[in-house]
Amino acid sequence: MSTIPRLLDRLPNRIEMAIRDPGPDVSAFVFGIANTLDDAFAAPNTVFTVTRNGWYRSPSIIRRRWGVTDGSERGLARVFFDVEDFWQAGGTYPHDPNQFYVTIAEVNAAGVQRPFGPILSVPPPMFYDTPRPTMSLVGTAPNVAGIPTGLPPVGAMAVALPRYSTNIRVRNAEPGGGNTLYFSFDDGQPEISMGPGESDIFYDSSVSDILVRGSGGTAAFEIRCALINGVVN
């Protein structure tokens, strides 16, 4: 799976993320954001680029003198930003009080940008004030044909949770006669099928990645999960 940033801190007007060094074949990371899962998947808004093992702070963060540390950053790219620095009217840019979505495109050593990867769901500020906060994900799984192995095919929507789940509920939100939803909790595990209107709950399940797709057409889905506060992926 492509690069996924780690969400280290989420406060009002302040987001801190880190990216582990994937190796010399990657020279930089392009960040895209959107206010819905569907927009982050189809057409994220490019907002900034950080070099491999580099450092980025958005204008508001610089003015407030945040994101300055004496700690070791070896093997990490670090970013500190206020999402309001990028907001534009009439588009799909998110506001800081709301949950939003981040996706990264790697730039290879030759300077060629690769496709955007999995989508990280970033919760609202102060989300972790409770011991078991609940995150909701609503979107449209793309129409992608399955493959003989039963594993998630290329083109499925991949969503990353900011922390591991404890319980997770998946629902196919299609009406009667709608399309089947296929999902998996790892790109190396077989998919599970779910008919229109069906749902299932997975208790005591440490899930960090969710891959979804529709069969025969797109499939609306709803996912709710309780996250473990204090355990960072």
The answer to whether 147 and 154 have CB atoms below 8 angstroms apart is: no
> Are 145 and 108 found together in one domain?
no
* Single pTM value for the model: 0.92
For 207-224, what is each residue's pLDDT tens digit?
999 999 999 999 999 999
Q: pLDDT above 90 covers what percent of the chain?
A: 82
> Are 120 and 141 found together in one domain?
no
> Are 12 and 93 found together in one domain?
yes
Stretch 105-117: mean pLDDT, rounded?
A: 95
Residues in CB range of 68: below 8 A, 6 or more apart: none
> Are 88 and 142 found together in one domain?
no
Q: CA angle, corner 200, sides to 195 and 205, nearest 5?
A: 135
> Are 27 and 121 found together in one domain?
yes
Stretch 98-119: mean pLDDT, rounded?
A: 96
pLDDT at 146: 95
Final residue of a structural domain among 61, 94, 125: 125
> Are 120 and 143 found together in one domain?
no
> Cα 61 to the chain's mean position, in Å?
22
Number of independent structural domains in the chain: 2
Alpha helices in the chain (DSSP H): 37-42, 59-63
CATH number of the domain bearing residue 179: 2.60.120.10
Domain of residue 186: give its range: 130-232
